[in-house]
Structure 1
Amino acid sequence: MSKNNVQIFDTTLRDGEQVPGCKLNTDQKVRIARRLDSLGVDVIEAGFPVSSPGDFKSVVEISKIVKNATVCGLTRAVENDIKVAADSLQYAARPRIHTGIGTSDSHIKHKFKATREQIIERAYKAVSYAKSFVEDVEFYAEDAGRTDNEYLARVCEAAIKAGATVLNIPDTTGYCLPSEYGAKIKYLNENVKGIENAILSVHCHNDLGLATANSIEGVINGARQIECTINGIGERAGNTALEEVVMVLKQHPYLNLDTNIDTTQLYGLSQFVSDSMGIYTQPNKAIVGANAFAHSSGIHQDGVIKHRATYEIIDPKDVGVTESAIVLTARSGRAALAYRAKNVGYELTKLQLDEVYQKFLEFADRKKEIMDDDIHEIIEHSHLYREIISA
């Protein structure tokens, strides 16, 4: 792997599916996995095989159809979990077992009622056992965001000695500030013995709205895998949004970090996942929201019509959106009205536009949005109608 390539680890089908009421059946998971493989993700976390017979079956079926990506199954640091995951991945061309344990003092004391040394021992044993089934083993240090760096480095060293190929450093509770999380990744990159033999991975949650920022800080500081979901779906406030981190890296080429994602498929896959899971995507969602490339302010509309890049840093076509939307409201100006009128067949002169614009404002004050049918009605009620249509 190039040192400038950032692997995209998609966990839509595992962490993303943990949203209440969004359970997918095996056929739905297979269809999404097929599209993720086409999108170009490097790893598909297909499920948590030991959690249910349905999840086990889904990982098996996904393993059979994925042609390019690594297929990954999640486990706890429990032998039976790991054995079941290995069984579910038997058909995968590139299988990965993702095992781990909590490392923060909170998890050690309250969740495991153990000592720090016992946690290191359990981490080592889990990775070693997983390694007996597959070459590619990822270790997660749950709640790494709240784990002190010196101890976290010791856990990571044990995992590498046991054979881990990837080290997942989750900000499980979404607590870290970007500077703190970036510093944590930098510390591990510089202080973990054997780190050159493993890939550092970032897995950030969005409880404080910082998942994307934290993930980007992570890769700037040496991580080379981002764990994320389509539309940012996931536990509680969600995960890092795949489409956001991919486009951040694409739009900032000076970072010299690339992914293998075909960005023109992002919008279509976003809609597909939203429909499959029955999850409404907020209109102002970055990159894939309905309003991501929509303009209603007159000043913005005028600028975009003259030159798209005036108010858009991304070409809509780069993410699979046909074109920007000029939305007519009471805040729209003459330029936007002339643009939309032309799209429905009216080439207005300046004088005609001045006349029609006054009628337009009367309509716009009564309606939230002016549609194409409204434009026809506005023009038909203008005393310049015959002059306009005869031009």
Structure 2
Amino acid sequence: MKNADKYTRQFFEAPKTKMKWTEKSYIDKAPQWCSVDLRDGNQALITPMSLEEKLEFYKMLIKIGFKEIEIGFPAASETEYEFCRTLIENDMIPDDVSIQVLTQSREHIIAKTFEALKGAKNAIIHLYNSTSVAQREQVFKKSKEEITEIAVSGAKLCMEYREKTEGNFRFEYSPESFTGTEPEYALEICNAVLDVWKPKADDKVIINLPVTVSHSMPHVYANQVEYMCENLKYRENVIVSLHPHNDRGCAIADTEMGLLAGADRVEGTLFGNGERTGNVDIITLALNMFSQGVDPGLDFSNIPEITEVYENVTRMRVYERQPYSGQLVFAAFSGSHQDAIAKGMKWRENKGCDMWNVPYLPIDPSDVGRTYETDVIRINSQSGKGGIGYLMETKFGMNIPVKMREEFGYKVKNISDHAHKELLPGDVFRIFTEEYVNISTPVTIKEIHYVQGDGIEANITLEYNGKKASITNNGNGRLDAVSNALKSYLGLKYTIETYTEHALESSSASKAVSYVGIKNEDGSLSWGTGIDTDIIMSSAKALVSAVNKSMKESRA
């Protein structure tokens, strides 16, 4: 591409650290979570949420289990202010939940912020000012010392207003554009703020290290975080927080490596909504931990419901391939994938396995509110017999014989291919029924009576091409006797290649299903399925269905 030479690296390497985070291979405990959907996520919407929509979203966040929720910038708009007051005055904040609000380091904004928070049981005042080289030089045109003074003066004002405002307040400071700031200066300004607030064990302070704009690979951010964690004053009383944005598509990696590097807390949004490419996706982060056996402390067991609320109130859409959350992330269209999943699920069932390890499925879809029948095995022209058979078994209770499954699989794929669309489970079942079940033309059996002797005698009343007939023949079993009668009357030559049966339901009023495959004189197989309340009649119907298909296919 042209113009690459006009770009340069805008990040600063941290002073040499021991990179202790590289010695860890996984996150072994959940961080403190803070949802910023109602502030950072909301300000990124084309149409910001109304008061009613924010309340609906807030209630969902509480239900999920968030203990810290950034609700807005109350000094910036009337809706934000009113939302804050509504939560406080209507006692909508649980005792174990803190609301968080954002404020710039300016006295009239800080004053308005504390006014909005009056009477709050637990609230976090999130103070910020931008510290990057680009912001200092181009926007504020101020020196480091002047930028530090902005932060320190804001910190002092927060202390003053806390003393004279009813409520319980904690503090958070963000050197906004941290990743474009020299780490030594970021440390200097954060320590200057900490010297004002003097955190204690019962009054801890949050230092938030935002990836306001992502400039580097994730390991660079991890080194910056480790440097801050090891050099911040009052570290035992400081909660180090991360707030990554996703400009380079690295927000998840930035956060996970930042947690390995010593951070304690994460700010993010559901589904990663936010300015530009968005914030870090808390659902993905949490379920990454969940997939490694770590309880994230948030309840994402009903992703479809969460998605529905999110899409309704934000007017955003969750991408179909969004990790864990997208409609298609557990879907297997590929025949080989479907076969592996089906065999993996059967293996788990047979082994009574407690631990999850199914091919192509990093977590159990049912743990996040998905179903195997509609979300995992999806049928189109790429599907295979294994997936189609698994769908028929799990959704409709039909355990189709392997060879029949192969033939049926090709029929379904061909129909999907010609229609250029996915087939829903109901479509697949309809195709199976129309192709194989209780086929009654040109031969229909009206009645069968059996007589026990040296073998079995079958007395059959049937209708063939509209004409009734009664026929009798013997066999070494009921199905064999019916088969011999049909062959002699119709002049057919075939052998019964496959016969299986099972109950279709587990109730006392269950039906029986039988599958019969006959090998024709030319070596081809014809399949039929019979369903009836009587197992003997279902087997006869399956045989007649196979015979009818054989005659139709021979005429085609």
Decide whether aligned partners of structure 1 residues 249 and 277 sit closer, same or farther in structure 2, where only a CA change above 3 A counts: same
TM-score normalised by L of structure 1: 0.93
Report the counterpart of residue 305 of structure 2 in structure 1: 268
Instruction: Kindly indicate whether the alpha-carbon contact (under 8 Å) linking 1:379 and 1:385 is maintained by their aligned counterparts in 2.
Output: no
Bigger mean CA deviation after superposition, 125-134 or 195-204: 125-134
Instruction: Kindly indicate whether the alpha-carbon contact (under 8 Å) linking 1:60 and 1:89 is maintained by their aligned counterparts in 2.
Output: yes
Q: Aligned pair 1:331/2:382, yes or no? A: yes
Decide whether aligned partners of structure 1 residues 268 and 377 sit closer, same or farther in structure 2, where only a CA change above 3 A counts: closer
Aligned-pair CA distance for 1:130: 1.5
| Deviations, residues 115-153 of structure 1 (Å, cap 9, x unaligned) | 101111111111221233254110011100111111110
Give the Cα–Cα distance (whole angstroms) in 2 for the partners of residues 245 and 264 of structure 1: 14
Give the Cα–Cα distance (whole angstroms) in 2 for the partners of residues 58 and 4 of structure 1: 33
Find the residue that maps to 2:38 and give its secondary structure.
coil
Aligned-pair CA distance for 1:91: 3.6
Aligned-pair CA distance for 1:259: 3.8
TM-score normalised by L of structure 2: 0.66
Instruction: Kindly indicate whether the alpha-carbon contact (under 8 Å) linking 1:102 and 1:141 is maintained by their aligned counterparts in 2.
Output: yes
Aligned-pair CA distance for 1:187: 0.2
- Paired AA for residue 72 in structure 1: Q
Q: Aligned pair 1:41/2:66, yes or no? A: yes
Report the counterpart of residue 56 of structure 1 in structure 2: 81
- How many residues are treated as equivalent by the alignment? 386
Give the Cα–Cα distance (whole angstroms) in 1 for the partners of residues 296 and 432 of structure 2: 49
Instruction: Kindly indicate whether the alpha-carbon contact (under 8 Å) linking 1:243 and 1:266 is maintained by their aligned counterparts in 2.
Output: no
Instruction: Kindly indicate whether the alpha-carbon contact (under 8 Å) linking 1:39 and 1:265 is maintained by their aligned counterparts in 2.
Output: no
Aligned alpha-carbon RMSD (Å):
2.0
Report the counterpart of residue 130 of structure 1 in structure 2: 158
Aligned-pair CA distance for 1:100: 0.9
Bigger mean CA deviation after superposition, 339-348 or 217-226: 339-348
Out of 24, 38, 51, the residue aligned to residue 49 of structure 2 is: 24
| Deviations, residues 61-87 of structure 1 (Å, cap 9, x unaligned) | 234312132101111111111111112
Report the counterpart of residue 72 of structure 1 in structure 2: 100
Give the Cα–Cα distance (whole angstroms) in 1 for the partners of residues 143 and 280 of structure 2: 31
Instruction: Kindly indicate whether the alpha-carbon contact (under 8 Å) linking 1:76 and 1:100 is maintained by their aligned counterparts in 2.
Output: yes
Give the Cα–Cα distance (whole angstroms) in 1 for the partners of residues 364 and 210 of structure 2: 32
Report the counterpart of residue 374 of structure 1 in structure 2: 427
Give the Cα–Cα distance (whole angstroms) in 2 for the partners of residues 283 and 352 of structure 1: 33
- Paired AA for residue 207 in structure 1: D
Give the Cα–Cα distance (whole angstroms) in 2 for the partners of residues 259 and 346 of structure 1: 38
Give the Cα–Cα distance (whole angstroms) in 1 for the partners of residues 368 and 316 of structure 2: 20
Out of 326, 329, 333, the residue aligned to residue 292 of structure 1 is: 329
Aligned-pair CA distance for 1:307: 1.9
Instruction: Kindly indicate whether the alpha-carbon contact (under 8 Å) linking 2:385 and 2:408 is maintained by their aligned counterparts in 1.
Output: no
Instruction: Kindly indicate whether the alpha-carbon contact (under 8 Å) linking 2:332 and 2:376 is maintained by their aligned counterparts in 1.
Output: yes
The 5-angstrom pairing of residues 141-152 of structure 1 reads: 141-152=175-186
**Identity percentage over the alignment?**
26
Report the counterpart of residue 342 of structure 2 in structure 1: 305
As a proportion of its length, which structure holds more strand? 2
Give the Cα–Cα distance (whole angstroms) in 2 for the partners of residues 194 and 224 of structure 1: 15
Give the Cα–Cα distance (whole angstroms) in 2 for the partners of residues 175 and 385 of structure 1: 66
The 5-angstrom pairing of residues 1-391 of structure 1 reads: 4-63=29-88, 64-67=91-94, 68-132=96-160, 133=162, 135-163=169-197, 165-253=205-293, 259-308=296-345, 309-323=358-372, 324-342=375-393, 343-344=395-396, 346-366=398-418, 367-382=420-435, 386=439, 387-390=528-531, 391=538
Larger Rg: 2
Bigger mean CA deviation after superposition, 106-115 or 278-287: 106-115
Point out where structure 2 has 5 or more consecutive residues left out of the alignment.
1-27, 163-167, 200-204, 346-357, 440-527, 532-537, 539-556
Give the Cα–Cα distance (whole angstroms) in 2 for the partners of residues 89 and 161 of structure 1: 24
Give the Cα–Cα distance (whole angstroms) in 2 for the partners of residues 267 and 156 of structure 1: 41
Instruction: Kindly indicate whether the alpha-carbon contact (under 8 Å) linking 2:101 and 2:126 is maintained by their aligned counterparts in 1.
Output: yes
Instruction: Kindly indicate whether the alpha-carbon contact (under 8 Å) linking 1:267 and 1:321 is maintained by their aligned counterparts in 2.
Output: yes
Aligned-pair CA distance for 1:358: 2.8
Greater relative contact order (Cα 8 A, min sep 6): structure 1 or 2? 1
Give the Cα–Cα distance (whole angstroms) in 1 for the partners of residues 171 and 343 of structure 2: 52
Instruction: Kindly indicate whether the alpha-carbon contact (under 8 Å) linking 2:385 and 2:410 is maintained by their aligned counterparts in 1.
Output: no
Bigger mean CA deviation after superposition, 302-311 or 328-337: 302-311
Point out where structure 1 has 5 or more consecutive residues left out of the alignment.
none
Give the Cα–Cα distance (whole angstroms) in 1 for the partners of residues 249 and 424 of structure 2: 34
Bigger mean CA deviation after superposition, 346-355 or 13-22: 346-355
Find the residue that maps to 1:101 and give its secondary structure.
strand
Give the Cα–Cα distance (whole angstroms) in 2 for the partners of residues 266 and 362 of structure 1: 33
